[in-house]
Structure 1
């Protein structure tokens, strides 16, 4: 299964380079709310990426979210009605839903990993 992960022992400095890269790549603007990766603060600052759990796919009434052969859940933009059920179902709050557009989510493309100056992120096959 292909996933975007935080490298063990790495330290995020919350520069938002990953957030910027994601939102600019897919929405052509820097807007943290339009990024499929988020920076969270719990015990430490770290990036939060989609673990490919599939809860979004289970919640989609249109069947617009399916798992590809590499284990990544993908949104079919032609089938997505923009209802937001997937965003409500995501336990991590990582589905991007903008007014009048289909939803989007992390597809483990690695754009954010390449943008990270601290080399915190990696795309792995598990």
Structure 2
């Protein structure tokens, strides 16, 4: 199975401008709010920005008791909003802390490797990679 995911090609080049996070939140929630983004920019131990992305590990899917998270043919884990009850267990187990659960929605969101953030990044350090 192919494995498609968002990767950061040069973590040291991130300027923490949040253009990627804003583009993601606008795509999913129609608001510019980095807290609602499936890519997060956090401050590293050295004080430098660190982009965190979904590594498509599947831990969320293995945790979901509703069976709402499944892997598609491209290797991307996706959430079925109709099956998701918004319990947040998947958010709690995400090793990258990039799953989003907002109070106003009954479902969780995660990166689907759509590439919207890659187009928004002025540094060009985000890309969607597919490995066979």
1:114 aligned onto 2:119: yes
- SS, match of residue 92 in structure 2: helix
**TM-aligned CA deviation for residue 98 of structure 1:** 1.1
Q: How many residues align?
A: 126
**TM-aligned CA deviation for residue 10 of structure 1:** 5.7
**TM-aligned CA deviation for residue 9 of structure 1:** 6.8
Q: Which runs of 5+ in 2 are unaligned?
A: none
Structure-1 residue corresponding to 2:49: 45
- Could you tell me whether the CA contact under 8 Å between 2:11 and 2:51 is conserved in 1? no
RMSD: 1.3
Q: Which runs of 5+ in 1 are unaligned?
A: none
Runs of 4+ in 1 over 4 A off after TM superposition: none
1:62 aligned onto 2:66: yes
Structure-1 residue corresponding to 2:79: 75
Structure-2 residue corresponding to 1:24: 26
